[in-house]
Amino acid sequence: MDIAPVSRAAVSDTVFAHLVDEILSGRVAVDEALPSERELALAFAVNRHAIREALKRLQQARLVRISHGGKTRVQDWRLTAGLDVLSTLAATGAVPAVQIARDIMVMRRTVAADAARLCARNATDDQLATIADAAAAYPAEYHGESSSSAFDADLTFWTAIIDGSGNLAYRLALNTLVAAFADIGFGSIADLGMAAELADRDAHLTLAEHLVARDADAAHRVADDLLGRVVDALSGQQ
């Protein structure tokens, strides 16, 4: 492993980030043992408490396991890690950004379209009014990645729909996906094909109308079409 001393500020965070990069990039193989706490502390030039905290976080992320004899061994993150590793994958570059973006968008379309159907059935009148207001406030023009207004408006709109669905797991998944988007870069996402969705104010208004009318099937259909555009664009770049 290529390890260099780190600054004293937030040392456990720095150690954690470095070790995650080593693991996700494959520079440390699955089942390979990490150096001991003492060896890591010497290599990073930090105290063992910082190393211990970093290793604890790696274990919580299910990237390593503590095996017999006290050795810390790398796990196959594809088999053990959860959604929370998405943003880290994007940040480290361990998986191509286009692949991560496409896979995120496929999940986003599936979850959000179903959330729209559930929202039409389960949302309160106040929640539906919030969705209608969010659609009405959607920018009339899209100016590309130079403007954040469409990203903010789109996030506000879909957050209201997912909240209206009443599904807590969908809400937590949204948080994870937004974090991954941020690490990839919202401008890059737009360049990769999201512009066709962000620029379509009419589709957002139509979806809101179906939700307010509590037409679950129509809401699902419009949501699936709207969010499927970026999936199609990204699939063409694979």
The CATH number covering residue 177 comes to 1.20.120.530
Quick: pLDDT tens for 52-70. Answer: 999 998 998 899 998 766 7
Distance in angstroms (rounded) separating the CA atoms of residues 173 and 109: 12
Q: What is the pTM of this model?
A: 0.74
Report yes or no on 111 lying in a domain.
Answer: yes
135 and 40 in a common domain = no
92 and 63 in a common domain = no
Question: Residue 176: what pLDDT?
Answer: 82
- For 72, phi then psi, to 5°, come to -100, 115
Question: Residue 146: what pLDDT?
Answer: 47
Average pLDDT over every residue of 199-212 = 96
Average pLDDT over every residue of 200-223 = 97
Task: Give me the percent of the chain exceeding a pLDDT of 90.
Answer: 52
116 and 73 in a common domain = no
For residue 33, give its domain range. 8-81
40 and 134 in a common domain = no
